[in-house]
Amino acid sequence: MNYWVLSGIAVMIGGFVLRLNALVVVVAAALVTGLAAGMDLTAIVSAFGKAFNDTRYVSVVWIVLPVIGLLERHGLQERARALIEGLKGATLPRLLTGYLLLRQITAALGLTSIAGHAQTVRPLLAPMAEAAAVPESGEEAERIKALAAATDNVGLFFGEDIFIAIGSILLMKGFLEQNGIVLEPLQLSVWAIPTAIAAFAIHAARIWLFGRGRRA
């Protein structure tokens, strides 16, 4: 057995210990492993290309994040705050309840990646919530940001189970079949609807109680 192929692990550990760029460390470890296994440079690059093509949907995340960073640098959060400040009747409870409803509906349709903490909550929802609430202290501002993040979590978590092709539904189906209970994914999805409605009602009530408590 050729133990030299494990040298890539040593390269990876050493690179992380030295706090080098993670992408460079992973590429270097892959190159070392490939060369130790007797692969030529062309074969290694070809393997990189195939892996990228097979998992290209994962790479989209790393393309979107720099775009969001550039938008924030050029005033995205300020624009979001200005938008809310210019709307009459825009309050924190109305904003977050509307977002909760939208997040649940889109997640129920399988559109789980069109919103989220990195691409929506931090650059858009949280600044808009702060503008609508006008916090009186830094601690209150942090609580508003946390409530915005929790709203996204609740909407996604309880909305995605309604979509029949989501991983959680398929996991439950497989687990039940192993225990002799045969159910179709649609049956599990239908029974997820009452839970989603209850989650919406409970979290919406928490949002409105939070807003009322600030006015008291």
pLDDT above 90 for 112: no
**Mean pLDDT value across residues 159-183:** 84
pLDDT above 90 for 4: no
**Mean pLDDT value across residues 33-41:** 86
What confidence tens digit (pLDDT) does each residue in 52-77 have?
666 554 555 556 666 666 666 767 77
Angle between helices 56-73 and 41-54 (to 10 degrees): 80
Q: What is the pTM of this model?
A: 0.64
pLDDT above 70 for 216: no
**Mean pLDDT value across residues 140-157:** 94
The per-residue pLDDT for 179 is: 85
What confidence tens digit (pLDDT) does each residue in 116-125 have?
887 889 888 9
Which has the minimum average pLDDT: 67-71, 160-164, 201-205, 210-214?
A: 67-71
Residue % of the chain over a pLDDT of 70:
86
